[in-house]
Amino acid sequence: MADVVLSAVSTVLNDLYGWDGPVELQPTRKDFEGDATLVVFPFLKLSRKSPVDTAREIGEALQAASPLVSSFNAVQGFLNIVLSSDQIQARFDAIRSADAWGTTPVDPNAPAAMVEFSSPNTNKPLHLGHVRNILLGHSVSRILEASGRNVVQVQIVNDRGVHICKSMWAWQQFGGGITPDSAGKKGDHLVGDFYVRFDQEYRSQVRELMAQGLDEEAAKAQAPCMLEVQEMLRQWEAGDSEVRNLWATMNGWVYDGFNQTYSRLGVRFDRNYYESDTYVLGKQDIEEGLARAVFYRRDDGSVWIDLREDGLDEKLVLRRDGTSVYMTQDIGTAIQRFKDFSIDRLTYVVGNEQDYHFRVLFLILKKLGYAWADQLFHLSYGMVDLPSGKMKSREGTVVDADDLLDEMESTARALSEELGKTEGLGEAEKAQLYRVLGHGALKYFILKVDPRKRMVFNPEESIDFNGHTGPFIQYSHARIKSILRKAEGRSTAWSWSDIAVDERSKELIQTLDRFPEAVQQAARNYSPAVVAQFAYDVAKAFNAFYQSNPILNAESDALVAFRVELCRTTASALRRALEMLGIEAPDRM
């Protein structure tokens, strides 16, 4: 509906004022009559009239030119447009006849959009910060698919380096041969325990050296455990079989743990890249860039790029000994991905502390001559804090992802039982409901926030059957499914000649009609928050409709059939919107 009305308004503005710029409509505020509102202030210089007179002039021309508009009203600088009942009917016919309203069919032969997300280190389990990254990446992937794109989901696992060797060293010193099976513990949790144990030992050794007279910087550099870890990394890079075997074993424990968590979150990847493979990439590209004067070599042998004319800085891309830095690897990995897959876009879901890194990376790739560099995007998101403050993984004070999921399920159980929403369900059905509600609450609470904003996650606020939450939307879906079950066997025959569309039904249809644009806007902005807001708006509009209108007890069979059909269409839209957020829509609650 919005695109049809927008086209009519654009035509009128062009006819009246020669306006060919952007035109935006917004939903009319509830305290005014209207279905769509045009802000007329941008057109005052062209109309040479007051805001009210300009709004009236546009409204009169629009009403005369388009059968879509039944009436209008001008309030200061706002034109409130009232749509005709024929237009409401036509839009509902389009919505309910569509195979998958809100989504665009995907051409299987078209290039794909790649989304990289998660990208954890193998020295600790996934935590709340990872959860926001994972949920954003997975939801953006689903939204891109719904907008008509093929999508490839990948991650790069940071499986080498000093931080990995810290857990390995601590396991050698304090593990006593323990394994996940013997400990009865997930592998990523076990390895994370040893990462924390290393930090405890390191701090102890630093304090001891400082007590002997060393300053803090020297003590940190000379701590025996750190020196041994650095030697272990050198042995790994030299291919020492004992170190490599331990590395492979402990990483295997972590991968098993990660996969269990990914499964709980409903996430999968089409390809895993590993830093232990990719750290050798990029060197040849640097050499080729040197030959073309994209880079330059300093007297000490190190290779740099000068980006000062581009408003950035000079950046090291190869050390003096010829070894890579992270930028080298990222250059090579990006190039490799465009070789591995038929893609025309690559999105990195990475926290905003890496903004500068990606500005440099994208610019270097452009200077190397890759046309696709203009299609690289950094989905820069804000960090997640707790009501108590920041998290610190090396000190063991993070919110573990698995513990968080357990807590959300437990909270969902307590609230569901308190509100009596589990009556008539068996134990297996109850457990499933707690999982669906708990995970839905977590996902919605995180995804409803604009990705660019820093956020505070409060589990207690995320589960509320009446607020701006996942469970409120899930409960609305379940309520509709209950109505549809009760309507089974009833007549489905109705026609518009038998129906007078009430105001609440009209508002619900108009809200549903926004779905395609919401999906496209979310895809353009890489923002699941747009879809989350749409789902909430639909749930609110449905509940207002439900409270105002008898459905199964309406005054005629035709009206019952119409309202049941409206319920069915609403449930379908809610389910698809929640799916884009990675949230399940329960049929019973």
Same domain, residue pair 167 and 303: no
pLDDT of residue 180: 98
Q: Which long-range contacts (CB under 8 A, 24 or more apart) does 404-408 make?
A: 404/128, 404/131, 404/442, 404/459, 405/261, 405/264, 405/265, 405/438, 405/439, 405/442, 407/438, 407/459, 408/438, 408/439, 408/441, 408/442, 408/459, 408/462, 408/463
Confidence of residue 392 (pLDDT cuts 50, 70, 90): very low
Q: Are residues 467 and 520 in the same domain?
A: yes
**Is 181 part of any domain?**
yes
Q: Where does the pLDDT of residue 393 fall: very low under 50, low under 70, confident under 90, or very high at 90 and above?
A: very low
22 Cβ contact list (under 8 Å, min separation 6): none
Q: Does any domain span residue 331? A: no
Please give the pLDDT value at position 1. 52
The mean of the pLDDT values for the chain is: 93
CA atoms within 13 A on the CB side of 419: 14
Looking at residue 419, its pLDDT comes to 77
Structural domains of the chain, count = 4
Whether residues 537 and 415 share a domain: the answer is yes
What does the alpha-carbon distance between residue 377 and residue 132 come to, in Å, rounded to a whole number? 18
Please report, for the domain that includes residue 58, its CATH number: 3.30.1360.70
The last residue of one of the domains, among 263, 294, 313, is 263
- Count of residues in the chain: 589
Q: How far apart are CA 165 and CA 246, in angstroms?
A: 10
CATH of the domain at 528: 1.10.730.10
The answer to whether residues 305 and 243 belong to one domain is no
Longest dimension (CA), the chain: 93
Nearest to 317 by CA among 277, 359, 283, 353: 283
Same-domain status, 234 and 292: no
User: Which domain covers residue 457, as residue numbers?
Assistant: 401-580
Indicate whether 571 pLDDT > 60. Answer: yes
72 and 201 housed in the same domain: no
With respect to residue 382, please indicate whether it lies within any of the assigned structural domains: no
Residue 244's region, left for phi above 0, alpha for psi from -120 to 50, else beta, is: alpha
Q: Are residues 170 and 206 in the same domain?
A: yes
The verdict on 440 and 572 lying in the same domain is yes
Residues 181 and 303 in one domain: no
R_g of the chain, CA atoms, integer Å: 29
pLDDT at 387 over 80: no
* pLDDT for 511: 93
**Boundary-marking domain end, from 50, 83, 116:** 83
The residues, ordered by sequence, that sit 6+ positions from 277 with a Cβ below 8 Å of its Cβ are none
The answer to whether residue 24 is domain-embedded is yes
Q: Is residue 219 part of a domain?
A: yes
Q: Given this model, what pLDDT does residue 300 score? A: 95
Domain membership flag for residue 70: yes
How confident is the model over 96-154, as pLDDT tens digits? Answer: 988 889 999 999 999 999 999 999 999 989 999 899 999 999 999 999 999 999 999 99
Mean pLDDT confidence for 503-507: 92
3-state SS class at 106: coil
What gap in Å lies between CA 174 and CA 539, rounded to an integer? 54
* 70-85 mean pLDDT: 91
pLDDT at 435 over 50: yes
pLDDT band at 344 (very low <50, low <70, confident <90, very high): very high
Q: Do 412 and 287 fall into the same domain?
A: no
Do 51 and 190 lie in one domain? The reply is no
Q: For the segment 466-499, what is each residue's pLDDT rounded down to a tens digit?
A: 889 999 999 999 999 999 999 999 999 999 999 9
Residue 586 lies in a domain: no
Question: Does a structural domain hold residue 427?
Answer: yes
User: 186-229: per-residue pLDDT in tens?
Assistant: 999 999 999 999 999 999 999 999 999 999 999 999 999 999 99
Residue 224 sits in the same domain as residue 294: no
Looking at 66-179, list the stretches that DSSP marks H as alpha helix, in order from N- to C-terminal side: 85-97, 128-146, 162-174
Work out the angle at residue 465's Cα, subtended by the Cα atoms of residues 462 and 468, and round it to the nearest 5 degrees: 55
Crossing angle for the helix pair 128-146 and 427-447, to the nearest 10 degrees: 90
Task: Decide which of 83, 110, 143 is a domain's last residue.
Answer: 83
Q: Which of 174-178, 422-426, 465-469 has the lowest mean pLDDT?
A: 422-426
- Looking at residue 347, its pLDDT comes to 98
Residue 397 has pLDDT above 70, yes or no: no
- Tens digits of residue pLDDT in 520-534: 999 999 999 999 999
